[in-house]
Structure 1
Amino acid sequence: MTIDALRGAAAAGTVLAYAALCGAIWWREQRRKAASQASARALAGNGKAPALVLFGTQTGQAEALAWQTAKGLHALGMPVRVLPLNALDADMLRSTPRALFVASTYGEGDAPDGASLFVEKIMAGIGALPSLRYAVLALGDRQYQNFCGFGRQLDEWLHANGAKREFARVEVDNADPAALAQWNSRLGLAGDEEGESATPFTPWRLSEREWLNPGSVGTSIHRLVLSPPSDVALLWQSGDLVQVEVPADPTRPREYSIASIPEDGAIELLVRQEMHPDGRLGLASGWLTDTLSPGAQVPLRIKPHPSFRLGDNAARPLLLIGNGTGLAGLRSHLRARAAAGNGDNWLLFGERNAAHDSLCHDEIAAWQSAGLLSRVDRVFSRDQPERAYVQHRLLQVADEVSAWIDRGAAVYVCGSLQGMASGVDAALRQIAGTDRFADMVANGRYRRDIY
């Protein structure tokens, strides 16, 4: 066989292998959807109108709690139906006699992405809801000023429109078990001992730490490599998170985007040092990037992040947008795509200066040379007199972005909420237009991991 023929056969084999992978992913997702639909039908029953258990989620916690609530009510003989807030329409809400809302808050009081369409289409003007009884479980984090901001806003909006509270809003700080037990008690449910709080932390080992941006005008960013204990299976997907238990503050785990895939054999993180005004390092970032010695143990647990996984988008073109340590979540997706041989990816990434902040430059360049990245746009905000950011670059290449959206691309955004994520969101809305943007959100083609 000639060399050309061998190359052709190899290429064909790669295509077939990738097609088989896509087929397997598609089949798995179809089975998951079918199982979810079957569960929903079983919970709804065939008698009286079911109560709605509605969730607005960003990282998946609100969805998990909604299903736990629904299954508990079903065990008591009550028909229920579980829906994301973005799938709810005004007529459905008006006609239901009872709705339980599990609502997370994102950033400083914002609605999560899983409730963005609900806010825009229903909360903007549904009118009176006099026949609705409801309760709200609001999820939040007290380190933010507007604790449970969206849950509070939702509760007040429902009450102002005439809906009747079954009981006062229950607010939960970082999955606090006592608050969740209060929710279950008011609904007459038994506690769920299989929730996230029951997942133990496992000691992983810091096997490598690399300073990625020496000389940067910004604070230091470090790549950490965490090796698992010998008896721990490597089970996560690109887009997932890790929770780290910090010795100085063990009751408040810190979350980081995983920058690697299981095939790498370790969890990699990109951690930026937090610097207080007095020069002290943040408890978590200082410990991970400075105090912790190589070989030391890091207690952690993996947290699935369904809203940022590839899922149905595994075979689509991907537009990956981020800044700073947000490269972590995008890097895991790029590694998954590289393993699958899918090069239909566009990375648009921002940092301060090209000379010091070109994070993972060699790896990205190698992917581009190998055809695993069809396009890379780097935006360095301080390399020109007028500041430039990724949202500006999006608008400059609006026609190309629109063309990617037209051919079915999914957009993944990872990085800072303030500035970058809000600016990118505004730019994408302008480029796509109201209807196309809403369609992307509704069909899971716009996903964010922002902080």
Structure 2
Amino acid sequence: MLTDLPVLTAERLSLALTAVFVYVCLCIWIHARHRRNSAPVGAAPDTDWLIVYASQTGYAQQLASSTADALRASGLGCTLMPLMHTAATTLQQHARVLFIASTTGEGDAPDNAAIFVEQVMPLALTLPALRYGILALGDQRYKHYCGFAIQLEAWLQQTGATALFDMIKVNQRDPAALAAWQQALQHSVPQLRYQESYLQQPYSQQSASQQPASPQQASPDWLPGDTEDWVLQSRTCLNTGSSGLPVYHLVLKPARALASGHWRAGDIAEIVPRNPPHLIAAVLDQLTAAQGHASQSSKAGNQPGWPGTDLLADRQIHTDWHQGLADPLDITKLAERLPRLGIRSYSIASVPADGQIELLVRESRTGNGAPGVGAGWLCHWAQPGQNIELQIRSNPSFHIPEDDRPMILIGNGTGIAGLRSLIKQRIAQGHTRNWLLFGERSAAVDFHFAEDCAAWLHEGSLQQLDTAFSRDGDTVRYVQDLLPAQQTRLRQWVDQGASLYVCGSAAGMAPEVHGMLVKLLGAPTMSTLIASGRYRRDIY
């Protein structure tokens, strides 16, 4: 009978609809899961590229952005991200990945790659569908040249991934190596187009890292940008009597109105060095002697306007420079066949409001005792009133936060230059919770910018200053040795949201400071600081 049927109340209707909804959602989930599991690992659209960068000073990030721009301009889809945000699933979901990886210190990974090294590389991943390319940035003066990129490729090979082309190593922003990278991409991505025809020589996969491309072949977007002339106003040795090599404070003023605008505290000054006059004179002597001409070059080599002087000023002149030169007196062709000197990078010690760039440069020596090219140019050969060719490169990984969080600044030697610019910018913003820990040899002659530090302490812009001078007293103490006694304060500042900035030597100070911070704060806390951008380093 009808009276025996259950009454369809609003409550029962709601329960029924809910059950139907849950059932439909379950079906959709099962279907999606089946499709995902049935798809091959690494499956992705043909136009989908992942570009990953591991950058310490911002240069790898700049090249990664240029690579992404070239792909997008050619109608190809790509995703750009730092290595620290690259998970295992990210690699599994992409078929083609380009890695732009720098190496810091003696073969170490950049800070923004630390999480990837700790959390992803230990995994037993299988990536047989992955095709990759690596652009390795490094400095041949270090023993483990491009060490992290080599480590990264070894791991990729263990996963079963396949290289699109041989790893391309770039020594100090070598234009020929950058051109080889462009050629490799052109070979792997035929539809890739650049703004102009820069890639004139055929690409050979077997010799990608040894391409004899001329510096002019690389796209301007990938090479150092337009330089500007800055006038050397003054150069002062700050550590006369020191047991270490001389340290010079340089002040440079813009020669004209700047096209690039202002920079930010933490950015990098990239200097185009010049050969010493006596080296150019020696080359010109040999050129003229080869034809039996009376040599006037020893005198003329010191005169900037003499033919050949300007052409050879920024060229690498090795002992075999004359080999293969058909006409010994053709200085123009000689200059064309010699590679350019690599640029030299220095932390800026001033802020835009100062109206000048200040640098702190320690003199360096080669194996035979001669001054290094960059330091020799800035500390000796360039004269006050002479133009210095320079460009400013953004270094976002060392910019300060906009808020008033506490800042802990740790450095040694000439590393105080970069820290000085950060403190000056913080003071200009009205943020005074600043703590500086600095180490050098002797307080009497090696405490660079001591007057600034004293003034900041007096006015309250610097709340804490701790110093360690290794040659003073009976006990040798370095900047990392200051931290244990300040463990309580260190933890308090970190708990209050402090950011830590480290600037200086990558070979000794940086790993020692990092190890001490791990010991005092714990590895989990340091990992959190790195992941949140509260631990930043400018080391060299």
TM-score, with length taken from structure 1: 0.85
Separation in 1 of the partners of 2:221 and 2:47? 28
Whether the 8 Å contact between 1:271 and 1:285 is mirrored in structure 2 is yes
Partner of 2:480: 391
Taking structure 1 as reference, are residues 430 and 211 closer, same or farther at Cα in structure 2, changes over 3 Å only? Answer: same
Corresponding residue number in structure 2 for 1:225: 251
Identity %: 42
Paired amino acid for 2:453 = I
1:293 aligns with 2:291: no
Aligned match for 1:308, one of 381, 398, 401: 398
2:449 is the alignment partner of 1:360? yes
1:188-203 paired onto structure 2 within 5 Å: 188=189, 189-191=192-194, 193-195=219-221, 197=223, 199-203=225-229
1:139-288 correspondence runs (5 A): 139-175=137-173, 176=175, 177-188=178-189, 189-191=192-194, 193-195=219-221, 197=223, 199-232=225-258, 234-248=261-275, 249=316, 250-276=340-366, 278-288=368-378
Provide Cα deviations, 1:244-279, integer angstroms capped at 9, x if missing partner. 111115521111000000110100000111134654
1:107 aligns with 2:105: yes
Cα distance between partner residues in 2 of 1:61 and 1:330: 20
Quote the residue 1:31 is aligned against.
Answer: none
Change (3 A) 1:136 1:275: closer
Distance 2:380 2:424 in 1: 27
Match of 1:10?
A: none
How many residues are treated as equivalent by the alignment? 405
Maintained 8 Å contact 1:227/1:267: yes
1:102–1:279: structure 2 CA closer, same or farther, 3 Å change rule?
closer
Deviation for aligned residue 1:366: 0.4
Q: State the one-letter code of the partner of 1:141.
A: D
What letter is aligned with 2:162?
Answer: K
Q: Distance in 2 between matches of 1:287 and 1:345?
A: 35
Query: 1:72 and 1:126, CA in 2 relative to 1: closer, same or farther beyond 3 A?
Result: farther
Distance across 1 between alignment mates of 2:484 and 2:402 = 24
Which one has a bigger Cα radius of gyration? Answer: 2
Distance in 2, matches of 1:198 and 1:358, equals 34
Local SS of the residue matching 1:246 = coil
Q: Whose strand proportion is higher, 1 or 2?
A: 1
Conservation of the 8 A alpha-carbon contact between 1:49 and 1:96:
no
Aligned residue identity for 1:292: A
Letter in 1 for 2:121: M
Q: CA deviation digits over 1:60-90, x for unaligned, max 9?
A: 1211222222233234443321111101122
Say yes or no: does 1:339 pair with 2:428. yes
- Listed one character per residue, the Cα deviations across residues 94-115 of structure 1 (whole Å, up to 9, x for unaligned) are 3332222111112222211121
For the residues of structure 2 that align with 1:396 and 1:309, how far apart are their CA atoms?
28
Distance 2:164 2:368 in 1: 47
User: Given that residues 109 and 149 in structure 1 are in contact (C-alpha distance below 8 angstroms), is that contact kept between their aligned partners in structure 2?
Assistant: yes
Higher deviation after alignment, 259-268 or 74-83: 74-83
Gaps of 5+ in 1: 1-45
Determine if contact 1:86/1:116 at 8 Å carries over to the other structure: yes
Report the alpha carbon displacement of residue 441 of structure 1 after superposing the two structures with TM: 0.5
CA contact (8 A) 2:165 2:184 kept: no
Q: Give 1:420 shift.
A: 0.5
In 2, the alpha carbon distance for the partners of 1:79 and 1:296 equals 47
Aligned mates of 1:276, 1:139 — CA distance in 2: 22
Query: 2:104, 2:506 within 8 Å by CA — same for their partners in 1?
Result: no
Change (3 A) 1:347 1:396: same
Q: Distance in 2 between matches of 1:367 and 1:128?
A: 55
* Residues in 2 aligned to 1:328 and 1:409: alpha-carbon distance in whole angstroms: 21
Partner residue of 2:461?
372
Deviations 1:222-247 (Å, cap 9, x if unpaired)?
A: 11000101222551100001111111
Q: TM-score, normalised by structure 2?
A: 0.71
Shift of 1:169: 1.8
